[in-house]
Amino acid sequence: MRVLILGVDGYIGWALAQKLAAKGYDLYGADNFITRKRVREVGSDSVLPVPQISKRLLSFKDHYGKAIKFFRGNVADPEFLYKVFKEVKPDAVYHLAEQRSAPYSMIGLKQANETMTGNLVSTINLIYASKDINPDVHIIKLGTMGEYGTPNIDITEGFFDVEFRGRKDTLPFPRNASSWYHWSKVHDSNNLMFANRLWKLKITDVMQGVVYGTATKEIAHSNLYTRFDIDEVWGTALNRFAAQAVSGLPITPYGKGDQKRGFLSLEDSVSCLTIALEKPPNEGEYRVLNQFDQYYSVNYLARTVKEAYKEVTGNDARIEHVENPRIEAEEHYYNPDHDKLHNLGYRPSGELKGDVTKIIEDLIEHREKCIELKEVVMPKTLWRKSSGL
Amino acid sequence: MRVLILGVDGYIGWALAQKLAAKGYDLYGADNFITRKRVREVGSDSVLPVPQISKRLLSFKDHYGKAIKFFRGNVADPEFLYKVFKEVKPDAVYHLAEQRSAPYSMIGLKQANETMTGNLVSTINLIYASKDINPDVHIIKLGTMGEYGTPNIDITEGFFDVEFRGRKDTLPFPRNASSWYHWSKVHDSNNLMFANRLWKLKITDVMQGVVYGTATKEIAHSNLYTRFDIDEVWGTALNRFAAQAVSGLPITPYGKGDQKRGFLSLEDSVSCLTIALEKPPNEGEYRVLNQFDQYYSVNYLARTVKEAYKEVTGNDARIEHVENPRIEAEEHYYNPDHDKLHNLGYRPSGELKGDVTKIIEDLIEHREKCIELKEVVMPKTLWRKSSGL
């Protein structure tokens, strides 16, 4: 089975490639290294050292005994994507090649438009390349739980049965995102749903929670590390909290900290993405999966990091609520369904406290790097201040 | 009051400018003439002769005694829009400057991406220019009733009160559009809703039905004509049916013809847009208005055109159902609310039969042009065949 990973050089892409290699799939990958570039632009770097792609690919081949056939280019360039599709003729394609940072999209107008156009065009290109070259391909597209926002009703997986003024229908669950990045994912989901209606493409649209973790069980040595970002633009909540503790900074929930979000470990993320591949939707089905382990309040995560840090080091980390740079409800109802992946066989590989302990242990080995990056960890990108021209 | 019309050279923009001029507003306009160019590209032309912009503007000034201050450029270029905003400092801005053709967006990948990026970027530019330069400006943005699709429940105006598993919330009404063009308008609506949350911008998002008509009461002579398109890409249902009858072609409902859509005359469109201006939303409000007079089935429109044509000319027009080039339900429930504009004072200026009779009379004066364009009236852009690279 020929599997193409768009965005193979990224946090999830690189870990996923290793999971799939361990299972024996024929792997093809594409990337344009834009995340490396954008991370450098904010003065940051991956805390885990990540070799250049040529070295990565060599280490990968050495360890797994099989190479990834790699293509350098931008999925938002249709000529590039068509070339890759014609050469690979993938049975399944993961689209992990979008701009993935909410704060980046909120820096200003330029970044808003870059996120919107780059993400939407990459997905539309993928739709057309699929229907033109390989209409049976299974498209597995990374979206986010953030597409749904925090409604005062239960969140379903993609669609819900609604009764209104005495009539019934099954309709797309209303989306209500909170950054240009999150909205670009909503727009992608809508475009994919429409593409499925047009051409019966087989699509899994993954509404993923926030991913945390330094490693997966396949990552056997430092040349196989995936990247790990902790800065305010490219890092995400739990990973950043752990890095804050390790580098002696306060752990900083935004605002009241009662925001609840779905989370899952990197190990579980690549497991779920593998399940999506191995248990595909029906022919012509557009399937939405809510992909997370559990949901937690940000305050609960902060306390868990504090406790784990104490247990590992004997030292106290401080929790300090900071002004919320985002526009979001800080206290709200939250009850999203996530039965489908469970029914397909997903079982969490660990539990939060143990996972966080592992992150802290790994980061302590790179404490100097965490300290070096101190300056870029605290929030600076303020949603309301997103700059114009 | 300083009113800026983006897309002032278009079908609705030019008629709206005349309505507002007659009411004494200070008018500013922008356009990049892309519709003129794209219409020429499909071998078509406006049936009503439309002078070049310089002549248009002179005739306008002669007739209304006050000039439109005109800017040539693309709203999707932020530098251009910022320049216009800084110079005009509008109290209200109409955004009618988007790619407006569903068939155009479905020609192929290139047009899909052009529609998506051009439309979304123009609206995001407008959001940032507004919040940076004139945050009190009233943004009146043209969307479409097609954003909602045809759900099996009543359609509300933007938001609906939903009860689900025993809990309640007011949520965005689920959208389900049927072309890249219509989806680009959905994405715009979502982005505007978010911009309102971010910066409390005052926004009227107009879900407009299909507009028909050759003229408005302000359009006093041929140098003031607005454009009138009848080709399969740039013309819309009722206008095209009338042109088909006049040029001796069959009237061609798509498929079964029981598709129902909201319609309104050009006269009513500019009236409603003027009401939106004169009865603005509250400070910081994002308001959605469903803007149409009545909804009809396509078959009913075809029969009405046939009858009116008979009454005007004594001749019979033929109705011929053709294969539906679109992907849409051809029989469905349809009951969209449209109370808000009525409550603000909108009353239809005419009724369908009389409006259609007027269109046919006007087109008969340009029968030769209609016949000249025969070749481009019949549907050729097939949704399923949208071409790739």
CB atoms within 10 A of CB A273: 26
Tokens matching residue B235: 């013309």
pLDDT, tens digit, 9 for 90 and up, residues B366-380:
999 999 999 999 889
* Cβ-defined contact of A160 to B164 (cutoff 8 Å): yes
Average pLDDT score over residue span B136-152: 98
* Most B-contacting residue of A176, A185, A188, A328 (CB-CB within 10 A), to test interface: A176
Do β-strands A92-95 and B26-31 pair in parallel, antiparallel, or remain unpaired? unpaired
What pLDDT was estimated at residue B62?
98
At residue A271's C-alpha, the angle toward residues A269 and A275, to 5°, is 115
**Facing B153 at nearest CB: one of A79, A112, A164:** A164
Question: Measuring CA to CA, how many Å separate A332 from each of A256, A259, B166, B356?
Answer: 11, 7, 17, 52
pLDDT, tens digit, 9 for 90 and up, residues B240-297:
999 999 999 999 999 999 999 999 999 999 999 999 999 999 999 999 999 999 999 9
Strand partners, A204: A140, A287
Say if B176 is an interface residue toward chain A (CB within 8 Å). yes
Residues 6+ apart with CB under 8 A from A334: A150, A155, A260, A261, A295
In this prediction the pTM is 0.98
Calpha distance B17→A63 (Å, rounded): 69
Say if B228 is an interface residue toward chain A (CB within 8 Å). no
Using the structure block, give the residue that is written with the tokens 């248990």.
A279
Tokens matching residue B275: 């009401």
pLDDT, tens digit, 9 for 90 and up, residues B173-218:
999 999 999 999 999 999 999 999 999 999 999 999 999 999 999 9
- Domain spans of chain B? 2-383
Using the structure block, give the residue that is written with the tokens 């040029």.
B247
CB atoms within 10 A of CB B331: 12
Interface of A with B in 299-358 (CB under 8 A): 327, 333
Label residue B307 by pLDDT band (50, 70, 90): very high
Domain B2-383 classification at class level: alpha beta
pLDDT, tens digit, 9 for 90 and up, residues B19-32:
999 999 999 999 99
- Residues A84, A88, A93, A97, Cα dihedral to 10°: -30
* Cβ-defined contact of B389 to A82 (cutoff 8 Å): yes
* Most A-contacting residue of B169, B185, B188, B334 (CB-CB within 10 A), to test interface: B169
User: From A384, which residue of chain B is nearest by alpha-carbon distance?
Assistant: B198
Q: Which helix (H) or strand (E) holds B4?
A: strand B2-6
Calpha distance B79→A353 (Å, rounded): 50
Say if A59 is an interface residue toward chain B (CB within 8 Å). no
Q: Output b/e per residue, A237-248; b: 16+ Cβ within 10 A.
A: bbbbbbbbbbbe
Q: What is the CA radius of gyration of chain B?
A: 20
Q: At what angle do helices A237-246 and A298-313 cross, to 10 degrees?
A: 30
Whether the CB-CB separation of A240 and A40 falls below 8 Å is answered with no
What pLDDT was estimated at residue B118?
98
Q: How far apart are the first and last CA of chain B?
A: 47
* Most B-contacting residue of A162, A193, A324, A335 (CB-CB within 10 A), to test interface: A162
pLDDT, tens digit, 9 for 90 and up, residues B93-122:
999 999 999 999 999 999 999 999 999 999
Residues 6+ apart with CB under 8 A from A123: A95, A98, A141, A188, A191, A192
Q: What is the DSSP string of A233-245?
A: TT--HHHHHHHHH
Tokens matching residue A130: 């699929």
**Facing B121 at nearest CB: one of A113, A168, A197:** A113
Calpha distance A234→A223 (Å, rounded): 22
pLDDT, tens digit, 9 for 90 and up, residues A36-65:
999 999 999 999 999 999 999 999 999 999
Beta strands in A96-236, from DSSP E residues, in sequence order: 138-144, 159-164, 167-172, 202-208, 210-212
What pLDDT was estimated at residue B284?
97
Whether the CB-CB separation of B71 and B28 falls below 8 Å is answered with yes
* Cβ-defined contact of A121 to B125 (cutoff 8 Å): no
Residues 6+ apart with CB under 8 A from A276: A140, A204, A206, A289, A341, A344
Amino acid at A49: P
What pLDDT was estimated at residue A114?
98
pLDDT, tens digit, 9 for 90 and up, residues A230-280:
999 999 999 999 999 999 999 999 999 999 999 999 999 999 999 999 999
Say if A154 is an interface residue toward chain B (CB within 8 Å). yes
Whether the CB-CB separation of B332 and B298 falls below 8 Å is answered with no
Active site (annotated) includes residue B254: no
Say if A130 is an interface residue toward chain B (CB within 8 Å). no
Tokens matching residue A292: 């997370």
What pLDDT was estimated at residue B9?
98
What pLDDT was estimated at residue A268?
98
Q: How far is A370 from chain B (nearest CA, A)?
A: 32
Using the structure block, give the residue that is written with the tokens 């209500």.
A176
Say if B200 is an interface residue toward chain A (CB within 8 Å). no
Q: How far is A167 from chain B (nearest CA, A)?
A: 5
Closest CA to A143 of A175, A108, A107, A168: A175
Tokens matching residue A155: 């969140």
Say if A171 is an interface residue toward chain B (CB within 8 Å). yes
Q: Sign of dihedral through CA atoms A118, A119, A124, A125?
A: positive
**Facing B168 at nearest CB: one of A152, A162, A165:** A152
| A2-382: in CATH 3.10.580.10 | no
* Cβ-defined contact of B333 to A198 (cutoff 8 Å): no
Average pLDDT score over residue span A22-46: 97
